[in-house]
Structure 1
Amino acid sequence: MNKFFSIKWEVSDTEAPILLRDLLKQKQISKAALTDIKFHGGALFVNGEESTVRKMLQKGDVVHVCFPPEVRSDSMEAEDLSLDIVYEDEHFLVINKPPGMPTIPSLYQPKGSLAAAVLFYYKKNGIPATFHAVNRLDKDTSGIVLVAKHRFAHSLMSNQQKDKTIKREYVAFVHGNVCGDKGTINSPIGRNPESIIERMVREDGQPSITHYVKLNYNEKCDFSAVRLQLETGRTHQIRVHMASIGHPLLGDDLYGGSESLIKRQALHSEKTMFIHPFTEQVVQLSVPLPLDMKMLWK
């Protein structure tokens, strides 16, 4: 049988006796994943013998979950594009995405996406996976994108996102001298009814919270460098929130920023921290500012 990814557990004395179904639930394997395993080429084994979820497990039993192979979408093409890989293991890729590269292809930019580059990398290295982005960045935002190599890893990281245990820090350059050393913007964000792209602060929007710290102020060019952390992950959240307090991002013409100093929104996903769901180790990563922002930093 062509198995894609598998994982094993030994049943502990604190877990036994327990139904296989209940153990898998404790291990965060969803009902949808079990259905996928059952009908699309996966399998469950206990002590080397294929089993069903109704199997009663005892201390010392070895459970082996084999996930079905992944099927890549026909609409997603692989492209030979360079990748700046910051971290890789059998479960995850962490990539430093350059500005100008969309995370996934779109009607307006079907070529040159991060997804296409990752699929080519998988093909070249014999990794039987499709593209699972844990987080996405706007086309013109640079920095860290976390990619799961299989559905189970993606599911576990999605749970971490819901629990807010994945931490991300951004650096942005914004117009004007930001008042005070730090602040929090707690303003709901929703769609602008006059645009299919633009978001705005509105009372009936989704709860959105952004924390920021001012790093410095460039008096000559009249902009501030700020470091930001998000409690929520709304579309364009940093861009909308900073514009809402009178400090749109440099280069962000959609939300009132000028392109005189930089031709894209000056936003970079600099750091990430997460608990690796398989090793339980804390992973902390950072990437430097891209050249266009680094030149402004001087």
Structure 2
Amino acid sequence: MSKFIVPKEDARVRLDRFLARELPEHSRSRIQQLIRIGFVRLNGATTRPRQLLRTGDKIEVTEPPPEKIETRPEPIPLDVLFEDNDLIVINKPAGLVVHPGAGHREHTLVNALLSHCPMLSGIGGKERPGIVHRLDKDTSGCLVVAKNDATHRELSRQFAERIVEKIYLAL
């Protein structure tokens, strides 16, 4: 559980924006979802994502248990650049969708990853296990994937704080 007391400088900031800054391992849409389903309490009560904060407000965030992965593994070849017990770095080709979504339930990088290493971090949910960042379908490049929840949290923090430098080359 994470607990926060809202400082003076964050008065009138939206709850979801405050938490997105304080919990960089979660996207703002994931934080909004956690607020809506009751895993976030403001002064002991459930609330809504756009609630404006006041100095001294008390926020409690309870982490739901990691979701069970339901995406099917598929033996799609991967170009593995690096792998250890905590993470795997993939050279993602252009044209490959990273995670299942509308219109792309199969033949994604996540399907291939689950075939290669079945135990990925559950923080990303059922459709994005281990995915710390993304690349668009038509973009090629390095993709870092977490194998466990602790690594996922730390890598997410590093990406959010811009400790990891991304370099893009256009051809």
Q: Which one has the bigger strand percentage?
A: 1
**Tell me, which stretches of 5 or more residues in structure 2 are unaligned?**
1-24, 26-64, 122-128
Residues 1:119 and 2:117 are matched in the alignment: no
Q: Alignment partner for residue 84 of structure 1, among 70, 79, 86?
A: 79
In structure 1, C-alpha distance between the alignment counterparts of 2:151 and 2:130, rounded to whole Å? 9
CA deviations over 1:233-289 (Å, ceiling 9, x no partner): xxxxxxxxxxxxxxxxxxxxxxxxxxxxxxxxxxxxxxxxxxxxxxxxxxxxxxxxx
Say if 1:88 and 1:147 are closer, same or farther in 2 by CA, change over 3 A.
same
Paired amino acid for 1:105? P
Shift of 1:87: 0.4
Indicate the residue corresponding to 1:158 in structure 2.
156
Indicate the residue corresponding to 1:73 in structure 2.
69
Aligned pairs for 1:215-226 (under 5 A) are none
Say if 2:80 and 2:91, in contact at 8 Å, map to a contact too.
yes
SS in structure 1 at match of 2:136? coil
**Tell me, which stretches of 5 or more residues in structure 1 are unaligned?**
1-29, 31-68, 174-298
Say if 1:106 and 1:71 are closer, same or farther in 2 by CA, change over 3 A.
closer
Say if 2:120 and 2:146, in contact at 8 Å, map to a contact too.
no
Paired amino acid for 2:102? L
Shift of 1:108: 1.1
**RMSD of aligned Cα (Å):** 2.0
Residues 1:129 and 2:120 are matched in the alignment: yes
TM-score by length of 1: 0.32
Say if 1:133 and 1:148, in contact at 8 Å, map to a contact too.
yes
TM-score by length of 2: 0.55
SS in structure 2 at match of 1:96? strand
Determine what percentage of the aligned residue pairs are the same residue.
Answer: 33
In structure 1, C-alpha distance between the alignment counterparts of 2:115 and 2:67, rounded to whole Å? 15
Shift of 1:129: 2.8
Runs of 4+ deviating beyond 6 Å: none
SS in structure 2 at match of 1:103? coil
Residues 1:95 and 2:93 are matched in the alignment: no
Aligned pairs for 1:1-298 (under 5 A) are 72-74=68-70, 76-123=71-118, 128-130=119-121, 131-173=129-171
Higher relative contact order (CA 8 A, sep 6+): 2
Indicate the residue corresponding to 2:37 in structure 1.
none
Aligned length: 101
Say if 1:70 and 1:129, in contact at 8 Å, map to a contact too.
no
CA deviations over 1:184-234 (Å, ceiling 9, x no partner): xxxxxxxxxxxxxxxxxxxxxxxxxxxxxxxxxxxxxxxxxxxxxxxxxxx
